[in-house]
Chains A and B, each alone.
Chain A
Amino acid sequence: MFEKILIANRGEIALRVIRACKELGIRTLAIYSEADVDSLHVQLADESICIGAAPSSESYLKIDRIMSAAEIGDVDAIHPGYGFLAENPHFAEVCESCNIKFIGPSSRAMQAMGDKNAARVFARKAGVPVTPGSDGIVETESDAIRIAKKIGYPVMIKASAGGGGRGLRTAHNEPSLKSAFHSARHEAEKAFGNEQVYIEKLIVNPHHIEFQIVADSHGHMVHLGERDCSIQRRNQKVIEECPSPLMTSGLRKKMGNAAVKLAKSVGYENVGTIEFLVDQDRHFYFIEMNTRIQVEHTITEEVYGCDLVKEQIRIAAGEPLSPHIAHATPRLHAIECRINAEDPEKDFQPSPGRIDFYYAPGGRGVRIDSHVYTGYTVPSHYDSLIAKIITVGATRMNAIERMRRALGEYYITGIKTTVPFHAAIMRNGEFRDGNYDTSFIERVMSSGKLDLKSPSIRLRE
């Protein structure tokens, strides 16, 4: 087992990894930017090293400085969290060559699945259904037009090096295809340094359902069921639940087996997630694989009774899959709401700044994964996620009512947060019926039916 781990991340996930390390008796080294000097993960780690100025490109993305910190900190392994360098095969390679264990898959497996277009090829080879689309990169506008015609509109143009919902454009007809093709390439070049795109059929109002994979280094792989992440705003997940209200045991078996087959075909190790779209007729299509721990891993943990981050560390240390994970079965229902420092009344404008007062809900079945506290200043340089609230219940309705209750106790002042937005969704009829797809948020927001002004608690000043 490792003696010391460097956490190459920040915010709530850095705290999550530190917690897992502490429970395993592993010493922790936090690296941080100048903007994160007061961050909770820096305070709680055994050691910390400042690696650069606030912008991510000057700090959390600086591979040389992270490796330097790893060297002077004399660590055995690095946990990359999610985002930043978590899916950077070059970083994984550098760790490998420095004899520091990268907690995740091999750089080879990461490379295979990281190229979204190549991943589709692997999927087809493994007999996993993929959305009808181009057979590879679409190089020219005329190719795009020809392929889109063949697939049939509407289509989606996707960046091959993309992820996180970026580098995507939709087109419903030929004129819009031309501009979508060029703007997708442009965004891909700027965001990922690679303008290559491919084209897929746009599944109308799908459900986004993903499967959790866990594999050790001895060839043993299982799936831990699905998460429904259809509640999205501008391709960013907002609310996730496990299990999916749409799922049947038959479909779960089919999709789970397909996910395992695909991950096995690239020799995948550690944790990962296979994402599918499911259409109105319950046909499922592979879209991409995330070769890292995900934000919403928490709901799988609550339903399947496991600690996925600890398991990541154990697997990386060469241990076989834990029996409780190898034989995990789902019990209970869990929902996660991502609390962002954004103003839902002003089109989710970012709201960084000092949190004057912070009180997090508690009680049975409530879990909070957050790095913020009273007096903490949310920096403006990074993503706006400040907390994840997870509720567990015996049934889906129990979990929803519990979330509604807990959000009513969640008191964060000094900045704007999306707490009232989530509270409104918990009261929404369609959501409560489990009747939603990826178009839900847009429809509900434009209909003006969401009442964002409902008060939560009022504490006496």
Chain B
Amino acid sequence: MTLLPKPTYLDAQPLTKGTRTLEIKEIKEIKAIIDLMEKHDLSVFEIEKEGFRLRLQKGPTGPMAAAAPPAVIIPSKALTGGSETTSAPPKPIESKPLKEIVSPMVGTFYRAGSQDGAPFVDVGKTVTEETVVCIIEAMKVMNEIKAETSGVIAEVVAENGKPVQFGQALFRVR
């Protein structure tokens, strides 16, 4: 037994060959399995039957390869370590794993450059490496944080005006 902070679930990689869409019943079954894993502190679950194989694994960030086709994508809930964290609401099933923009420092997260200003980015906004996505205020200094990745903002993870720690997820980008 180890003392672990809140777990991070992984997205499984889809395989391009022989995929089929999931049925509602199957999605519900998978969600139930994830709940059971959490409840009983299991880190790996694997099942194989009738040409169907599923593997769910708990762990830190990074994509993880799934088993033989057809592969499934699981909804993921990502929380970073430490007690002062913000949690993301479960997101709908995506077709590709999302990239994370994480905090490079300790401070307070702000979505806009000023009190009443418009947020730098919103869900749906296209970003490049150089796009400023937020401000992190540390010791009275406002630091502009760049995306350092390109894509479309899929989710705003951190909460406006709340503290963030080093490595904490701020945004998810498709």
B3, B80, B106: the one within 8 Å of A68 (CB): B106
Q: Is the CB of B82 within 8 A of A48?
A: yes
Is B165 an interface position by the 8 A CB rule?
yes
Judge whether A68 and B138 touch: CB under 8 Å: yes
With A50-B167, A65-B166 as contacts: A72 and B107 at CB distance below 8 Å: yes
| Proximity bits, A248-272, B CB within 8 Å = 1, else 0 | 0000000000000000000000000
Known: A34-B167, A50-B165, A50-B168. A64 touches B139 (CB 8 A): yes
B23 on interface, CB distance cutoff 8 Å: no
Interface assignment of A334: CB less than 8 Å from any CB of chain B: no
Decide: A47 and B84 in contact? CB cutoff 8 A: yes
**Chain B residues whose C-beta falls within 8 Å of the C-beta of A43 in the assembled complex:** 3
Query: Which of these, A38, A42, A64, contacts B138 with CB under 8 Å?
Result: A64
Is the CB of A192 closer than 8 A to any CB of chain B? no
Cβ-defined contact, B5 with A37, below 8 A: yes
Secondary structure class of chain B's binding surface, majority of residues: loop
Report how far A27 CA is from B108 CA in the complex, Å: 21
Nearest-Cβ distance from residue A70 to partner chain B, whole angstroms? 9
Q: Which of A12-47 contact B (CB under 8 A)?
A: 32, 34, 37-38, 40, 42-43, 46-47
Docked-complex contact A49 and B2, CB < 8 angstroms: no
Select B106's contact among A38, A51, A375, beta carbons within 8 Å: A51
Beta-carbon contact of A376 and B139 below 8 Å: no
Q: Name the distance in Å between A51's Cβ and chain B's nearest Cβ.
A: 5
Asked if A67 is at the interface (CB within 8 A of a chain B CB), the reply is: yes
Q: Which residues of chain A come closer than 8 Å to B106, judged between CB atoms? A: 49-51, 65, 68-69, 72
The bracket for how many chain B residues form the interface is 20 to 34
A329 within 8 A of B: no
Smallest CB–CB gap between A53 and chain B, Å?
A: 8
Tally of chain A residues near chain B (CB < 8 A): 29
Distance of A47 Cα from B95 Cα, bound (Å): 36
In whole angstroms, what is the CA distance A72 to B162 when docked? 9
- The closest CB in chain B to the CB of A72 belongs to B163
Q: Is A38 within 8 A of B2, CB to CB?
A: yes
Q: Does any Cβ of B come within 8 Å of A173's Cβ?
A: no
Report yes or no: B84 in contact with A49, Cβ–Cβ below 8 A: yes
Do A65 and B81 contact each other (CB < 8 Å), given the known contacts A50-B165, A52-B166? no
State whether A37 and B139 are in contact (beta carbons under 8 Å apart), knowing that A68-B105, A68-B107, A69-B106 are contacts in the complex.
no
Which residues of B have CB within 8 Å of A375? Answer: 1-2
B44 interfacial by beta-carbon distance below 8 Å: no
Verify if A442 is at the interface (C-beta below 8 Å from B). no
> Any chain B CB within 8 A of the CB of A139?
no
Tell me the nearest residue of chain A to B106, going by C-beta: A68
Beta-carbon nearest neighbor of A376 in chain B: B2
Residues of A within 8 A of B138 (CB): 64-65, 68, 71
**Residues in chain B near residue A67, CB distance under 8 A:** 139
Cα(A51)–Cα(B166), bound, Å: 5
The reply to whether the CB of A374 lies closer than 8 angstroms to some CB of chain B is: yes
B114 within 8 A of A: no
Q: Does B21 contact A (CB under 8 A)?
A: no
Q: Is the CB of A51 within 8 A of B165?
A: yes
Q: How far is the CA of A38 from the CA of B107 in the complex (A)?
A: 22
A48 touches B105 (CB 8 A): no
**Bound form: Cα–Cα A64–B137 in Å:** 12
Bound CA span A374–B3, Å: 10
Within 8 A of A (CB), among B110-152: 138-139
In the complex, the chain A residue whose C-beta lies closest to that of B4 is A38
A59 to B107: give the CA distance in the assembly, Å: 14
In B47-91, the 8 Å CB interface with A consists of 80-84
In the assembled complex, which residues on chain A have CB atoms less than 8 Å from the CB atom of B163? 49, 72-73
Q: Tell whether A71 pairs with B167 under 8 Å between CB atoms, given A37-B81, A50-B81, A374-B1.
A: no
Question: In the complex, what residue of chain A is closest to B136 when comparing beta carbons?
Answer: A68
Closest to A354 in B: B2
B125 to chain A, nearest CB (A): 27
Question: How far, in whole Å, are A426 and B83 apart by their CA atoms in the complex?
Answer: 43
**A65: contacting residue among B80, B83, B105, B108, CB under 8 A:** B105
When chains A and B are docked, how far (Å) is the Cα of A17 from the Cα of B29? Answer: 47
Chain B nearest CB: distance from A135 CB in Å? Answer: 42
Q: Within 8 Å CB of B108, what residues of A?
A: 72
Closest Cβ of chain B to A353, distance in Å, is 14
Q: In whole angstroms, what is the CA distance A67 to B139 when docked?
A: 7
B122 to chain A, nearest CB (A): 25
Task: Other than A50-B80, A73-B84, give 17 A-B pairs with Cβ distance below 8 A.
Answer: A32-B82, A37-B81, A38-B4, A40-B3, A47-B84, A48-B84, A49-B82, A49-B106, A59-B166, A65-B105, A65-B106, A65-B166, A68-B105, A68-B138, A72-B106, A72-B107, A98-B139
User: A: which residues have CB within 8 A of B?
Assistant: 32, 34, 37-38, 40, 42-43, 46-53, 59, 64-65, 67-69, 71-73, 98, 373-376
Q: What are 18 A-B interface contacts by the 8 Å CB criterion? A: A32-B82, A34-B166, A38-B4, A47-B82, A47-B83, A47-B84, A48-B82, A48-B83, A50-B80, A50-B106, A53-B166, A64-B138, A65-B106, A65-B138, A68-B105, A71-B139, A72-B163, A73-B84
B residues adjacent to A (C-beta < 8 A): 1-5, 80-84, 105-108, 138-139, 163, 165-168
When A and B form their complex, which 3 residue pairs have the shortest distance between CB atoms, in order from nearest?
A72-B163, A68-B138, A375-B2
